[in-house]
Amino acid sequence: MKVKVLSIPVQNQEKALKFYTETLGFVKKMDVPLSEQNRWLTVVNKEEQDGTEILLEPSPNHFEPAKVYQKALMDAGIPYAQFNVENTQMEYDRLKSLGVEFSVKPTEMGTVKIAVFNDTCGNNIQIVEIL
């Protein structure tokens, strides 16, 4: 088995697309209209465009349990997803300079260094550097 698509619930697909591409640096892979308001919208790492796709899923707007779950994770400060980075401090500095809000600054935890930011779409996202 191989992971092809990872779904992240977002409150607004257009806002999510802008944040995930312009701020985080992913590139749009798929954009297929499903209805007037919803799309099959994925982004990928620009260096691994055949790798795992992140589906910017509008489920919180249409499925109440997803909305409750997303809000509970956000309120508890629990990351919805984790992205690996080469250097947590450098990525933290780059994202901070772009106005990204962090709830956890770069912190060493055993064999990793982590930081957690708000993706502006209802989720905490953790970045991780393997030390």
User: What is this structure's pTM?
Assistant: 0.94
| Residue of 112, 110, 114, 109 lying closest to 127 (CA atoms) | 114
DSSP 32-91: EE-SSS-EEEEEE-TT-TTSPEEEEE-GGGT-HHHHHHHHHHHHHT--SEEEE-S-HHHH
Rounded CA gap, 44 and 50, in Å?
Answer: 8
Domains: count for the chain: 1
Rounded CA gap, 114 and 105, in Å?
Answer: 8
Q: What range does the domain containing 33 cover?
A: 5-130
Q: Could you report the average pLDDT of every consecutive run of 10 residues in the chain (131 residues)?
A: 96 96 98 93 97 93 90 97 98 98 98 98 97 97
